[in-house]
């Protein structure tokens, strides 16, 4: 009887490497597919574009590592460019959101439009019965569940992937902890065994965010204003370079106090800051969420959610209104940010989520957000 064929996204990292091993042990015929989503040659035209000590861009290092792993495991590796698709569906969205003063999450959109759409179509051309990735997540009976390793759980970034897109998807390392993943990679002598995990936005990499962004959006410096006293404290380098709750990188002089970004005025080009991370201006008690992708069987009214990836679960109530959800958290939460994903959970299950459209307090939109 012929083996079922799995096409796995090989990123050149340790997680997808070990995921391929797990699939082999489970008896699948495994095929690797490396996605090239960013034009690293264009990157080289810009100041601050990263290269390795050998003068090779990190994307090519990742491909070479993926190839080495596939050769070690005796599985074929194909390579596919999704540069245009990534630009059209992810990077353009990223820039548009920044222009609106919002804080986008391109990883969420990459999963929705590239990894679980364009990638799947390419995998089907290779005869895939299933597709797999190295995500830390689980799928059981069509339900998306948190990973066993809660510190690595990536369901937050999968919140915009539809139920249909999850059909015939495998997450081989979702029930493993990171230390065991690295242990297996070491046992197999894989080049990725001790490779550092990638962090931050994939197309920016290790370089300075502002240096990268100025190639696409011109800086428009303006005033940094204390939202309470209306005192001008310094100059910002462009509103798109800051996010709500940010403390580091503020050009604020004349004070030893810890200042935090609390809001933006696009028309006046003003960045508002406040004193102290528990300042009342940073706290909201509800928000409006749009672009809902719901994965649960029935809509719930009580659950928990995350407004940011590294955030502890927040107890919330949901008020469903046509295509929107009013998310209420009367206990108050700081730095809830327009443009970010709001992801719903019921115990271990991820119920999907949406994008934060508006932040409120006492049923009124916060004027500075």
Active site residues: 110, 202
Phi-psi region of 300 (alpha: psi -120 to 50; beta: other; left: phi over 0): beta
Residue identified by tokens 């091993």 is: 21
CB atoms within 10 A of CB 196: 7
Facing residues of 34 across strands?
79
Report the interhelical angle of 178-187 vs 14-25 (nearest 10°): 70
Facing residues of 5 across strands?
29
**What are the distances in angstroms from CA 84 to CA 49, 105, 121, 123?**
20, 19, 15, 18
User: What is the rounded distance in angstroms from the CA atom of residue 103 to the CA atom of residue 352?
Assistant: 19
Return the sign of the alpha-carbon dihedral for residues 186, 188, 189, 191: negative
Q: How many CA atoms, within 13 angstroms, populate the side-chain half-sphere of residue 135?
A: 25
Helix (H, G, I), strand (E, B) or coil at 42: helix
Cα angle value 313/314/318 (rounded, 5°): 120
**Which parts of the chain are beta strand (E)?**
5-9, 29-36, 77-81, 130-132, 138-140, 143-145, 169-170, 222-226, 232-236, 259-265, 270-275, 283-294, 302-306, 314-321, 324-334, 341-346, 349-361, 364-365
User: What is the rounded distance in angstroms from the CA atom of residue 101 to the CA atom of residue 268?
Assistant: 12
């Amino acid at each position: 009887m012929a083996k079922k064929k799995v096409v796995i996204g090989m990123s050149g990292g340790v997680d997808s490497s070990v995921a391929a091993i797990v699939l082999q042990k489970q008896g699948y015929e495994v095929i690797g597919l490396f996605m090239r989503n960013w034009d690293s040659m264009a990157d080289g035209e810009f100041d601050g574009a990263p290269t390795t000590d050998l003068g090779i861009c990190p994307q090519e290092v990742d491909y070479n590592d993926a190839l080495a792993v596939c050769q070690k495991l005796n599985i074929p590796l194909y390579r596919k460019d999704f540069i245009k698709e990534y630009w059209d569906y992810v990077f353009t969205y990223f820039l548009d959101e920044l222009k609106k003063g919002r804080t986008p999450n391109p990883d969420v959109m990459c999963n929705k439009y590239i990894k679980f759409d364009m990638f799947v179509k390419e995998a089907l051309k290779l005869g895939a019965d299933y597709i797999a990735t190295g995500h830390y997540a689980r799928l059981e009976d069509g339900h998306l569940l948190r990973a066993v390793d809660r510190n690595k759980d990536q369901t937050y970034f999968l919140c915009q992937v539809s139920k249909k897109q999850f059909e015939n998807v495998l997450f081989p390392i979702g029930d493993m902890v990171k230390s065991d993943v690295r242990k297996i990679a070491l046992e197999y002598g894989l080049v990725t065994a001790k490779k550092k995990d990638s962090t931050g936005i994939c197309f920016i990499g290790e370089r300075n965010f502002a240096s990268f962004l100025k190639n696409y959006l011109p800086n428009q410096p303006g005033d940094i204003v204390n939202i309470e006293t209306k005192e001008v404290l310094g100059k910002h380098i462009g509103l798109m370079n800051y996010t709500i709750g940010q403390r580091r990188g503020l050009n604020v002089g004349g004070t030893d106090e810890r200042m935090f970004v609390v809001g933006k005025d696009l028309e006046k080009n003003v960045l508002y800051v406040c004193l102290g991370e528990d300042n009342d201006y940073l706290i909201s008690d509800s928000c409006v969420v749009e672009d809902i992708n719901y994965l649960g069987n029935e809509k719930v009214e009580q659950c928990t959610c995350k407004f940011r990836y590294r955030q502890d679960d927040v107890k919330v109530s949901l008020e469903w209104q046509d295509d929107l959800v009013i998310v209420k958290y009367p206990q108050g939460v700081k730095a809830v940010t327009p443009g970010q994903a709001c992801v719903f959970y019921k115990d271990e299950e991820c119920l999907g989520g949406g994008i934060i459209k508006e932040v409120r307090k006492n049923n009124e939109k916060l004027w500075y957000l």
